[in-house]
Amino acid sequence: MTFDIRKIIGPRIIKTGISTFLTAIICMMLNLPPIFAVITAIVTIEPTAYASLKKAYVRFPASIIGAFIAVVSLYLFGESAFTYSLAATLTIFVTYKLNLQAGVLVAGITAVAMVPSVGDAYFYNFFSRLATTTIGLAISTLINFLILPPKYTGQIQEMTRSTTKKTHKLLIQRLEELTESRFISKRSEKEYGSIQKQITESEKLLKYQQDELKYHRSNREEMRLMNRLEREIQFKKLYFIHVGNLIYLPENIAMDFSDVEKEAMNEIARYLNTDFSSLKMTNPSIRSLRRQIKGMDEEKEAFKIHVLYEIIIIYQMIVQHEKTTGEVKKVDIKVSTD
């Protein structure tokens, strides 16, 4: 069992500590005040090296703008409450107008923090603050690129397994609610929202990991894993949308499921509560629902038809996905043993 400090305090905290330490050391060696550089190093650590490099191009000109506005405001109005407000407001306004949103925080901090320390040496302090901010920005970007590159694949896999299990459970619960004529369910809506947050978070982590691969070497195994995770999340989103169509029905809706339809829906729920590898694309329950739909009035029973079709689509999506992922796993095993 290997010891991984990242599991205790997190890679971002570690990288922030290293960045601030190195930034302070360099500034002190150059006889520059380290406070601006350290603040910049703290606020510019990003989840990935890609994000750091991309935002560095924005944050550098934004910090120049912040420093310039602070010096001009102080020269015109002296140190006062109005000067702080003017420097902050103008900096935010200008950076947004120039589409430098990623640098607003660094620019704003630079502008406000410069006001009490410039004194009469405007040019010296302008270039001094600019230099220290640049040092902090460069060090944080370099550390983010070189130290503890993020590894989110384990988290993504765990979140995917968790959301899959919860979505299946939610689907079975919803089928039971529909057969009991509970068409509006706050419980299902609440669980749906909770799962949705997890899926969104797994998408974000996947994007971070894909961005990171642009700047770090990866082997074929890692690329195959990333592709598999991407396919899994894409399926999960589509599957989740269809489950949502069963949950978010119009208010005051009324549907009368026949005994045959209820039995078919309950049977499908039982199928989905077993081993998916044994499921087939069609079974007696699916065929029964299709026969029922054919005999319905499309105008009078539109929502009922919609609900039954959603159940069929979801079931067949699960079966198809299980079949596809099973084949992919077989291929991966064959490749790894060759």
Q: Are residues 159 and 78 in the same domain?
A: no
Q: Are residues 113 and 200 in the same domain?
A: no
pLDDT at residue 153 greater than cutoff 80: yes
Beta carbons of 320 and 276 less than 8 angstroms apart? no
Domain-located, residue 333:
yes
Q: Which of 91, 52, 43, 51 is nearest to 71 (CA)?
A: 91
Indicate the residue among 92, 111, 146 that finishes a domain. Answer: 146
Domain count of the fold of the chain: 2
Q: Is 15 exposed, middle or buried (0-12, 13-18, 19+ CB in 10 A)?
A: buried
Q: Which of 115, 101, 110, 100 is nearest to 130 (CA)?
A: 110
Instruction: List the domain range (segments joined by +) for residue 290.
Output: 153-337
Dist CA 136 CA 17 (whole Å) = 12
Instruction: Give pLDDT, residue 326.
Output: 57
Domain-located, residue 329:
yes
As a residue count, the chain comes to 338
Q: Are residues 273 and 137 in the same domain?
A: no
Residues 57-84, mean pLDDT to the nearest whole number:
87
Q: Which residue has the higher pLDDT, 220 or 55?
A: 55
**Long-range contacts of range 141-144, CB-CB < 8 Å, 24 or more positions apart?**
141/44, 141/49, 141/52, 141/53, 141/56, 143/15, 143/18, 143/19, 143/22, 143/45, 144/15, 144/19, 144/45, 144/46, 144/48, 144/49, 144/52
pLDDT at residue 2 greater than cutoff 50: no
Instruction: Give pLDDT, residue 238.
Output: 92
Specify the pTM.
0.71
pLDDT per position as a tens digit, 308-321: 999 999 999 998 88
Beta carbons of 58 and 76 less than 8 angstroms apart? no
Q: Are residues 175 and 26 in the same domain?
A: no
Band of the pLDDT at 120, cuts 50, 70, 90?
A: low
Dist CA 159 CA 165 (whole Å) = 10
pLDDT per position as a tens digit, 266-307: 999 988 888 777 778 888 899 999 999 998 888 788 888 999
Q: Are residues 241 and 201 in the same domain?
A: yes
Q: Are residues 189 and 324 in the same domain?
A: yes
Indicate the residue among 146, 177, 207 that finishes a domain. Answer: 146
Q: Which residue has the higher pLDDT, 98 or 337?
A: 98
Percentage with pLDDT > 90 across the chain? 29
Instruction: Give pLDDT, residue 154.
Output: 84
Domain-located, residue 114:
yes
Domain-located, residue 49:
yes
Dist CA 133 CA 122 (whole Å) = 16
Q: Are residues 299 and 275 in the same domain?
A: yes
Q: Is 277 exposed, middle or buried (0-12, 13-18, 19+ CB in 10 A)?
A: exposed
Q: Are residues 212 and 197 in the same domain?
A: yes
Q: Are residues 333 and 184 in the same domain?
A: yes
The CATH number assigned to the domain holding 171 equals 1.20.58
Instruction: Give pLDDT, residue 174.
Output: 94
Residue 284, CA distances (Å) to 171, 194, 200, 264, 279 in order: 20, 34, 36, 8, 12
Q: Are residues 246 and 188 in the same domain?
A: yes
Band of the pLDDT at 92, cuts 50, 70, 90?
A: very high
Domain-located, residue 1:
no
Q: Are residues 248 and 292 in the same domain?
A: yes
Band of the pLDDT at 199, cuts 50, 70, 90?
A: very high
Dist CA 69 CA 75 (whole Å) = 10
Indicate the residue among 100, 120, 146 that finishes a domain. Answer: 146
Widest Cα–Cα separation across the chain: 88
Instruction: Give pLDDT, residue 88.
Output: 92
Token pair, residue 14, equals 């570690």
Domain-located, residue 321:
yes
Q: Are residues 163 and 132 in the same domain?
A: no
